[in-house]
Chains A and B, each alone.
Chain A
């Protein structure tokens, strides 16, 4: 499985920065506390307190970006019967969820012709394999009827995958089943 690559949290470097700022600020506070001199006072009052507050602000920004990304991560689109959502061999950049309707997952083989692998209905999702393996789509997805589909792009999927344990376990269970 290629899950390790997908579990990297996109804003890790910001959290490392927040941690470094907070710890540096605290270190200056401890030094000022243990050895109050004009210079340690200036370093703590003029810099250390600011670093602690900056670390907290960076952390708050990460929390805000996460919340915003979750709110904006899902978009909706309606497909007519027979219309393709993606085709076999396309690069994988989104995961899809069937909101209302039916999706056919079709494998196109030169020798065997079209082969319907699955029919997905309301609440089921597809397209996750290409995101997890970074490989091209291994099948075509097309609407069986007029179908409304929700989509989540790669970055948001990564954030959800690493940020919401329930979402992650659900995806992992389905991937295990499908592979």
Chain B
């Protein structure tokens, strides 16, 4: 293959790669038809996404440039540094940044629902305007703004986040390998202290409208694990018999 032809092949490979790298973004834009009200996009996530894509394109550019135009000087002083940037310096932070953005994106309710068979009954009930179950009441009244599943199923702090992510990875593994058991249920009893993150200290919690003394001693009881919120309130999700069976 002549040198010019070889370069043309590399340039074609570069342009194809750049085009491919933008396809997922273009596909997502194409999906947004009509007016849909959505929460404003997180500015940091927005720019982190763009930064990752630009770094990715810079990597493609560097590697393709070196292999196409500096092939006769590979691993010489300057070229070696270009390759070092294209293969190490740029991809590593971009991978971590992408992982961070993706992990943040995986907190979305849509992400949880993308495991359709096991999760549909939960999300469908939550979005049902007629449902009186706790998750549906919270969703309908926008008591939780975004990331509805995540907010109630991740514990406090970094360890709570890490634990929820690890559990999520196990869920993903079980779903993609079709080794999950129907109907799904929590691994252990729900931690009702998670509810206190929003409710503790609020006026309605301290002094409920219909019965101002109804919550006396409840905070201590929930903290100690003696009480569960559903001892008095509706359950959060449909009962076991209404959840999916495995297809």
Whether A45 pairs with B91 at a CB distance below 8 angstroms is no
Interface size on A, residues (CB 8 A): 44
**Of the residues B17, B73, B83, B103, contact of A15 by C-beta under 8 Å:** B83
Whether A22 pairs with B115 at a CB distance below 8 angstroms is no
Whether B67 pairs with A15 at a CB distance below 8 angstroms is yes
Whether B63 pairs with A31 at a CB distance below 8 angstroms is no
Within 8 A of B (CB), among A11-47: 11-12, 15-16, 18-19, 22-23, 25-27, 29-42, 44-45
B contact patch SS: helix
The CA of A136 and the CA of B84, in the complex, are separated in Å by 39
Whether A52 pairs with B92 at a CB distance below 8 angstroms is yes
Whether A42 pairs with B173 at a CB distance below 8 angstroms is yes
Say whether, besides A23-B59, A30-B21, A162 and B75 are in contact (CB < 8 Å).
yes
Contacting residues, chain B, for A25 (C-beta < 8 A): 91, 95
Residue from B71, B95, B175 whose CB has the most chain A CB atoms within 10 Å: B95
Contacting residues, chain B, for A32 (C-beta < 8 A): 98-99, 102
The CA of A55 and the CA of B94, in the complex, are separated in Å by 14
Say whether, besides A41-B102, A42-B172, A59-B83, A26 and B94 are in contact (CB < 8 Å).
yes
Tell me the minimal C-beta distance from B50 to chain A in angstroms: 11
Asked if A56 lies at the interface with its beta carbon under 8 angstroms from chain B, I say yes
Contact with B along A80-116 (1 / 0, CB 8 A): 0000000000000000000000000000000000000
Contacting residues, chain B, for A38 (C-beta < 8 A): 114-115, 171-172, 175-176
18 residue pairs bridging A and B, Cβ less than 8 Å apart: A11-B75, A18-B87, A19-B87, A22-B63, A29-B102, A30-B53, A32-B98, A33-B49, A33-B52, A38-B175, A44-B102, A56-B88, A59-B88, A63-B80, A162-B74, A162-B76, A163-B75, A165-B76
- Give residues in A with beta carbon < 8 Å to B: 4, 7-9, 11-12, 15-16, 18-19, 22-23, 25-27, 29-42, 44-45, 48-49, 52, 55-56, 59, 62-63, 66, 162-165
- Give residues in B with beta carbon < 8 Å to A: 17, 20-21, 24-25, 27-28, 49, 52-53, 56, 59-60, 63, 67, 71-77, 80, 83-84, 86-88, 91-92, 94-95, 98-99, 101-103, 105-106, 108, 111, 114-115, 169, 171-173, 175-176
| Given A12-B71, A59-B83, 15 additional A-B pairs, CB 8 A | A4-B72, A8-B71, A11-B74, A15-B67, A26-B94, A29-B98, A29-B99, A30-B98, A32-B98, A36-B102, A37-B111, A42-B176, A48-B95, A59-B87, A164-B76
